[in-house]
Amino acid sequence: MEFVSKVFPEGQKGQQALFAHVSDCLVIAFDAQLIKNSKKPAGILAEIDRITQGSVVRALQAKDLEAKAGSHALILGNDSWLAQGLKAQRLLLLSMGLAKEVKNEGHVKTLSAAIKTLAQTSAKQITWHFDQLPAKDALFKIRQLVQLSREHTYRFGARYPKLKTKAQDAQLGMTHLVLASSSKTQKAYAQAMKEGLAIANGMDLTKDLGNLPPNICTPTYLAQTAKQLAKDFALKVEVLGRKEIEALKMGAFLAVTQGSVTPPQFIVIRHQGASSKEAPVVLVGKGITFDTGGISLKPGEGMDEMKYDMCGAASVLGTMRAIAELKLKRNVIGVIPTCENMPSGHATRPGDIVTSMSGQTIEILNTDAEGRLILCDALTYVERFKPAAVIDIATLTGACVIALGAVHSGLFSRDDDLAENLLSAGRQAQDTAWRMPLDAAYQEQLKSNFADMANIGGRPAGSVTAACFLARYTEAYPWAHLDIAGTAWKSGAAKGATGRPVPLLVNYLLAH
């Protein structure tokens, strides 16, 4: 799909040029203010009503078109329009609601509704005109428009045609998106479009890696993907193998990988957008390419979904891709411990005690609580970067799915500023998180009779005790943890990775 922004002059002349612009569909996204007096639409809608011989008034009278956000009417063109200089094959009139009432969440619904309607037509080239958008809103609406259009046309099967040899889902019509702007808005719109595209590209990479089967998307495959990214975008990458992981004394990470014949990898990928003196933001992603549970084996039903247990890692790579494409002027380092969690004669037993890289000992009471074991060593490793902030991203606990479902990612942090910045970045990007507690009182549940700590804290507050475990390894820097177990992929008929929380992370890095 191609995206371009096109400048039209201000005023009457610009409107004529917009109408004269040839397209399969011209979308007029307008503020509901314009149809407040529904017998007599105002602004651009008045002009359209005139050219289309009363179509707008008729649509309003028939209540096909209403003020409420998301209401829209699709009108097919005719010879009389063409004669009057309206060169679009179709018009889609789309109410964005009243600017002062609608929040970001509403825009997502509105734009999705319009894109769904467009997808049911054969329109390939769509021109979008946002009438009278408040400047501060434009950025996020346009980013959303690009992301949602791409989301709608993402087809895993078309990207990996060898995996499904029978006929693929029909490719969707939309191929070109033109964003109409004026000389005043052109710069801001083009920038918003660029950001939306970079985020969408990052999300696609994250989705691809999540959706790929675990026999293809192995730790080595993730490492190769990082190396390819580094080549394409001039990033620096370093990949450590088992020997180097042993030399670093990452006893917790090694305990998880020891039951698997697939070699582990420890990936460090760096974007240097600022002076090397500037402290980096470090993103740490859980990269379990398949989680059987190990000796504490998971039940069989739905176990295939544990191929998604590397979505934290995938979101780190997707975010690195997006910020590299945007040439972000900051230093960002992605760190990914990646391996499989398998049962075997070599596997860790419940009751085994291991020493983490930090020196703290862990009694592994449940081998299915493996995410925290690979993350704790990565979180110790990153101390060497003297980070400004560390954010880890992990499909860490089923308990987080019970607490928050598929709506919000779980956010845990001792640092109120960091937490607030991440929450607001998520709200703006419509990729939201919800803050969860991290009180010291929960640490009690991790007590072990035989080691410094146990790796599980029982069923109560399972996602909190998992975060509390990580907190013991993150005293050296400001830190936040995102539990994306409920948000990284969808189950059921629409099974597939979502690309979250790439929008949240990229927006955080852009804004803070």
Binding-residue total with ligand BES (CB under 6 A): 16
Residues 6+ apart with CB under 8 A from 492: none
Please name which of 369, 375, 358 lies closest in space to residue 481, comparing C-alpha atoms.
Answer: 375
Residues 372-411 as b/e (b if ≥16 CB within 10 A, e otherwise) read bbbbbbbbbbbbebebebbbbbbbbbebbbebbeeebbbb
Longest dimension (CA), the chain: 85
Round the CA-based radius of gyration of the chain to a whole number and report it: 25
The answer to whether residues 23 and 87 touch, using CB atoms and an 8 Å cutoff, is: yes
Contact status: 314 vs ligand BES (CB under 6 A): no
Please name which of 328, 315, 29 lies closest in space to residue 195, comparing C-alpha atoms.
Answer: 328
Q: Which stretch binds Zn ion (CB under 5 A): 55-63, 245-253, 307-315, 423-431?
A: 307-315
Among 204, 208, 309, 377, which residue interacts with Zn ion (rule: CB under 5 A)? Answer: 309
Q: 372 an active-site residue?
A: yes
Contact status: 47 vs Mn ion (CB under 5 A): no
The least CB distance from residue 305 to Mn ion, in Å, is 12
Q: What is the footprint of Mn ion within residues 357-396 (CB under 5 A)?
A: 368, 370
Tell me how far apart the alpha carbons of residues 377 and 355 are, in angstroms, rounded to a whole number.
10
Tell me how far apart the alpha carbons of residues 97 and 137 are, in angstroms, rounded to a whole number.
13
The least CB distance from residue 33 to ligand BES, in Å, is 44
Q: Which stretch binds ligand BES (CB under 6 A): 244-252, 395-403, 429-437, 445-453?
A: 395-403
The catalytic residue among 298, 414, 435, 490 is: 298
Name the binder of 399 from Mn ion, ligand BES, Zn ion, none, CB < 5-8 A by kind. ligand BES
Among 70, 202, 334, 371, which residue interacts with Zn ion (rule: CB under 5 A)? Answer: 371
Contact status: 340 vs Zn ion (CB under 5 A): no
The least CB distance from residue 58 to Mn ion, in Å, is 59
Angstrom CA distances, 287 to 204, 257, 359, stand at 17, 11, 23
Among 204, 291, 325, 392, which residue interacts with Zn ion (rule: CB under 5 A)? Answer: 291
Name the token pair of 409. 């990612």
The residues with which 237 forms a beta bridge, in sequence order, are 269
Q: 349 an active-site residue?
A: no
Binding-residue total with Zn ion (CB under 5 A): 4
Q: Which helix (H) or strand (E) holds 483?
A: strand 479-483
Q: 490: which DSSP letter? A: E
Residues 298-317 vs Mn ion: string with x where CB under 5 A? --------------------
Contact status: 483 vs Mn ion (CB under 5 A): no
The answer to whether residues 198 and 303 touch, using CB atoms and an 8 Å cutoff, is: no
Contact status: 291 vs Mn ion (CB under 5 A): yes
The least CB distance from residue 371 to Zn ion, in Å, is 5
The least CB distance from residue 462 to ligand BES, in Å, is 6
Among 370, 377, 392, 431, which residue interacts with ligand BES (rule: CB under 6 A)? Answer: 370
- Judged by the rule CB under 6 A, the positions of this chain that interact with ligand BES are 291, 309, 366, 368-371, 395-399, 401, 456, 462, 485
Which residues have a catalytic role annotated? Answer: 298, 372
What is the binding site for Zn ion (CB under 5 A)?
288, 291, 309, 371
